[in-house]
Structure 1
Amino acid sequence: MKQHPEKETQLTGELLLLLAGLAALGALATNIILPAFPDMARELGTSVKDLSATLGTFFVAFAIGQLFVGPLSDRFGRQWLVLSGLIVFVIGSAICILAANLPQLVIGRIVQALGVCATSVLSRAIARDLFEGDALARTLSLIMVAMAAAPGFSPLLGGVLNNLLGWRATFGVVAGLALLLGIHYLMRLGETHRMERRMNLSVSGIAGSYRQLLRDRKFIAPALSVSLVIGSLYMFFAMAPALLMEGFGFSPFGLALFFASTVFVVFGAGFMAPRVARRWGTVVAARSGIGIAWAGSIALLLGQQDATYFSVALTIYLLGMGMINPLGTAIALQPFGAKAGAASALLGFLQMGCAALAIGIASVLPVSTYMGFCIVLTSCQAVALVVFMRGVRP
């Protein structure tokens, strides 16, 4: 089995792109089908509203699957789980391509999520296997940028594919990307979790590992802070059609372009974060990122409700989110090299949990969609800032 000595791997652009691709595949598969919902509903004999089940079940399976993938990789290594996850994802995509009704499509999406959750979790764990310090922060910056950017570009890509080839082609494209990533991973990287660092595996051991992480302030404070901020981003993606199309009159193509434009802000912040961290220190830079995100959310809550103002204020939030995401993730994972898989899995679960909770609260508040979004967004950033400032020390 191909194995790499820890901390000896060169931080190259090729390796960064490979890890970013593994991280972004799940996010890409999440939103790529949104523009095709009307066509899918007509062909499958269902409604656009009912098709939301393909998103909800995907998130649930994705979140739960992570909790098993992390500890398994700490015990048996990363390689077989990455490759198996990609194969399962391809199988799920094939089920979606052949689906003749909504239940079959939902089953395919569940299988997709159970496979791709492995690549999302293990991209971070592999980064922790290979790098430390500034190199880890730089690697996680690109990984986090890719995960945040993929939902922005995927609706645009999905709309183009749907118009040219039909909605089933979107599943074929993501399956093809998974196969290419698997081949590249096997040839370029291989196993990164050395035998002497592997942990014993048992149900009580898995539960104990998660329990220790939840009780350890070095993990839970930065992890919860990052999860509240990134969960707010997923809330925005979920509520964006109502906010932008119904609230501000965006067309479907305009919505896709708006999503794509947010990517450049996230890219800029992600590349800026390690440089700011080297100048001010990682903890101070991460704290500043949460503060910037909070300032943007306050501007949304208290400002004008028009498209231009919304775009400017949201950009401020995205700038802060793009800073705290990689830096906070690096702070949370840095002390836990021996159980990086479990730590990464629990971090992913917390992010999905915060996203689901934020969406649920915003949807039931007795206010307009816009105000519900702004209230929850501002509250999440405020709690994240308090948790980080009280729990993380330079």
Structure 2
Amino acid sequence: MRNTALSTMEQTADSGVDAVGGRRLTAGVLALLAGLAAIGTLSTTIILPSFSSIGASLGVNARDLGLTLSSFFMAFAVGQLVVGPLSDRFGRRLPVLGGLAVFLIGSAVCASADSMTVLILGRVVQALGVCAASVLSRAIARDLFDGEALARVLALTMVAMAAAPGFSPLLGGALDALFGWRAAFVLVGVMAALLAAFYALGTGETHPPDRRSAWTPSAVGSAYGRLLTDRRFILPALSVSLVIGGLYAFFGAAPAILMTALGFSPLQLGLFFAATVFVVFGAGLLAPRLAHRWTAPRVATAGILLCLAGGVILLGGGGTADLTLFTVAIAVFLFGMGLVNPLGTAIALHPFGRQAGLASALLGFLQMVCAAAGAALATALPQPPVGALAITMAGAAALSLLAFLGLRASPAR
């Protein structure tokens, strides 16, 4: 028997129901959700071109500045697990505005840092604040929309999340050249303030009191445990997270492949990252349309198969750094990722409307764990950089496919 969550999504799409409580999908709602989703990834990678400048300014080795990323990832991952249940208990508005305020404080600490210790502290504060925006962008989408409209909203917000790390190295490099490395932290702080104002003035509370859950610490732990063992959530969540792991493996390995092996300049590297955004953008636009015609589960499965094909294409090069082969493989993988990410996310969150914050938090945590693992694995394997990336991408896609096929074969609940 078909899985109930999948069947319900297909029926909802066919019925044309697209909003919860009469809320319509508008450009303003899309812009807000995209901004909330993107600011976290933007603030993660915007400082990459400035590592040399930061190292020289603070008197540390540029390689040691990797701690500014790992500390951010760890705080971001753990913070999500707290923010999600809080938003289910108290609503979305307070955590979003409070989180953006904390992020603004962290950005100010980073911009004024005079030592590595202060910079890392600022990055941790940034992450603890901005994780609320990322998690709750998905939860707010689930509050407002269902079925086909939910898939469409998530597709466009996922495009924004993918575009941020693609364009941010170019933006960060330009800011560093014109104003110095501290300007990047000033910019993301200003963006957080604008997002907070936009949200406060234009969006009401999307999680009304009659849908809230009276969480206690033990209840939160039990709820996370139930989600982890609920095939309707954990299988699509793992599928999406593993593909995200492959994406961050690409981000982690690309500098060594393109700059060291192929001789790219920092500007060329930034342009390559920026070009990949258009692949994800195209897939994100197509995903809801294809899902409307062939159903979300089928299109998500096709997306995972494309991710696997990209990894296999790269494996076929035998670890050789060939620009054409590398570009084709990455384009195929990213196109598949652009399909499965929004649709898999919608499938994972669909059965859990009353726990959208908690479910979104756990999904975000899984994604961050897989992102960290993918980036680490692609740089730690004893193969050449291209071979290590190929193994990581293909392996992540294969595991993702197994998880998603397991969902489709699950009995109804």
TM class by shorter-chain length?
over 0.9
- SS state of the match for residue 170, structure 1? helix
Q: Which residue of 2 aligns with 1:107?
A: 121
Give the stretch that moved more between structures: 48-57 or 295-304.
Answer: 295-304
Q: Aligned partner of 2:93: which letter? A: Q
Alpha-carbon RMSD across the aligned residues, in angstroms, is: 1.2
Letter in 2 for 1:75: R
**Unaligned residue ranges in structure 2 (runs of 5+):** 1-18
User: Aligned residues, how many?
Assistant: 390
Q: Distance in 2 between matches of 1:172 and 1:366?
A: 39
The answer for the alignment partner of 2:95 in structure 1 is 81
Structure 1 runs, 4 residues or longer, greater than 4 Å off: none
Match of residue 57 from structure 1: 71
- 2:362 maps to what in 1? 346
Instruction: Give 1:364 deviation, angstroms.
Output: 3.0
- The Cα shift of 1:249 comes to 1.1
Correspondent of 2:199 among 158, 171, 185: 185
What is aligned with 1:302?
316
| Alpha carbons 1:34, 1:158 under 8 Å: kept | yes
Instruction: Please state if 1:72 is matched with 2:86.
Output: yes
**What do the CA deviations read for 1:27-64 (whole angstroms, capped 9, x no partner)?**
00000001111111111101110111100100000000
Q: Distance in 1 between matches of 2:20 and 2:202?
A: 15
Match of 1:390 in 2: 406
Unaligned runs of 5+ residues in structure 1 are: none
Secondary structure of 1:7's aligned partner: coil
Paired residue type of 1:381 = A
The 5 Å alignment of 1:164-179 reads: 164-179=178-193
Deviation readout 1:47-82 (Å, 9 max, x if unpaired) = 110111100100000000000000000000000000
Secondary structure at 1:191 match in 2: coil
Determine if the alignment matches structure 1 residue 327 to structure 2 residue 349: no
Distance 1:239 1:62 in 2: 22
Q: Deviations over 1:184-231 (max 9, x none)?
A: 001111210010110011111110111110111000110000000012
1:141 aligns with 2:155: yes
The residue type paired with residue 326 of structure 2 is F
The answer to whether the 8 Å contact 2:100/2:196 transfers is yes
1:125-183 C-alpha deviation (Å, 9 max, x unpaired): 00000000111011000111111111001000001111111110110000000000000
Alignment of 1:1-394 (within 5 A): 6-303=20-317, 305-392=321-408
Distance 2:65 2:130 in 1: 20
Deviation at 1:358, TM superposition (A): 2.1
TM-score by length of 2: 0.93
* Separation in structure 2 between the aligned mates of residue 390 and residue 39 of structure 1, nearest angstrom: 48
Aligned to 2:5: none
State how far apart, in whole Å, the 2-side matches of 1:356 and 1:36 are. Answer: 21
TM-score (norm 1): 0.97
What amino acid maps onto 1:165 in structure 2?
A: F
Counterpart of 1:302, as a letter, is G
Matched AA of 1:124: R
- Given that residues 297 and 378 in structure 1 are in contact (C-alpha distance below 8 angstroms), is that contact kept between their aligned partners in structure 2? yes
Contact residue 349 and residue 356 of structure 2 kept, 8 A:
yes
Cα distance between partner residues in 1 of 2:54 and 2:75: 22
Q: Which amino acid aligns with 1:270?
A: G
CA positional deviation for 1:6: 4.2
